[in-house]
Amino acid sequence: MLSRALLLILLFTSTRPVLAQLRLDIEGGLVFGTNYNKVRIPNKGGTLVNLAKQLEINPKAFYRIRGGYTFGKRHNISALYAPLTVRYNGSFREDVNFNGILFTTSQHTTVFYKFNSYRLTYRYDFISNARWTLGAGITGKIRDADVRFKNESNDTHFDNVGFVPLINFYASYKPSYRWNVILEGDALAAKAGRAEDIFAGVAYQVNPKLGIKLGYRVVEGGADTDEIYNFNWINYASAGVLLSL
């Protein structure tokens, strides 16, 4: 899906070079903690366990890549690839029933938590001038999630792939030509769950084609359905390279 979206962006850029701008945002850094990661699978009959409180997580490197395209000065489309897998280790304080299998307190357990995201976004900038850019739009997100519990005796996982619509927003302020303060993200709440992926930081324009950014990113949300209960809060220390073509 990501490759097709990027191909469309490149094709559209080649047909309207005067009005268009192609951008590449390559972001990376560390996942340095989770405030909480509450899991119960199945939702009825499983054990509710907070992985962030009962197990340990080591800082983990992450990356994400966004290809963006601006046309008509105010219209923006972008495609995002954001893979993420974190690993928890330790022993539970109580026996945990996960996916129909009992994980006891006597055995060391490793939990692999995967939450990959593929997104396609359209945003319209209502304000776009030398100082301010304010815009909003819609994002279609494909969520590829998997939770795996493993110890010496058992190894089981539960995967879930689904589509999630989100509201996209973007706000930036340029106090000078080279500096830019940014707040952007995707978010939406519904009866069955919620999702937020928000970045706050600063960017420095090295030259007209190259910029760098530094900031904090938080991913929060989850779902409460018949099959699963899972809500998490993940913290990122983030840095990136911004390319304009």
Strands 210-224 and 229-244: antiparallel
Domains of the chain in sequence order: 2-244 (2.40.128)
Q: What is the largest CA-CA distance in the chain?
A: 66
In this model, does residue 29 exceed pLDDT 70?
yes
> What is the distance between the alpha carbons of residues 108 and 150, in angstroms, rounded to a whole number?
9
Q: Round the average pLDDT of the chain to a whole number and report it.
A: 91
pTM: 0.88
In this model, does residue 16 exceed pLDDT 70?
no
In this model, does residue 12 exceed pLDDT 80?
no
> What is the distance between the alpha carbons of residues 242 and 237, in angstroms, rounded to a whole number?
17
Q: What is the pLDDT of residue 20?
A: 64
| Token couple for 154 | 């058992």
In this model, does residue 58 exceed pLDDT 90?
no
Which residue type sits at 232? N
Could you tell me if 237 and 29 are in contact, meaning their C-beta atoms sit under 8 angstroms apart? yes
**More confident: 21 or 235:** 235
In this model, does residue 162 exceed pLDDT 60?
yes
In this model, does residue 81 exceed pLDDT 60?
yes
Residues in CB range of 134: below 8 A, 6 or more apart: 125, 126, 127, 128, 170, 171
Residue range 1-13: mean pLDDT, rounded: 46
Task: Note the pLDDT tens digit of each residue in 97-119.
Answer: 999 999 999 999 999 999 999 99
Residue range 5-23: mean pLDDT, rounded: 53
Q: What is the pLDDT of residue 33?
A: 82
Q: Which of 75, 68, 63 is nearest to 117 (CA)?
A: 63
Please, where are the H alpha helices in the chain?
2-15, 51-54
Q: What is the pLDDT of residue 46?
A: 96
Residues 29, 30, 31, 32: what is their CA dihedral angle, to the nearest 10 degrees? -140
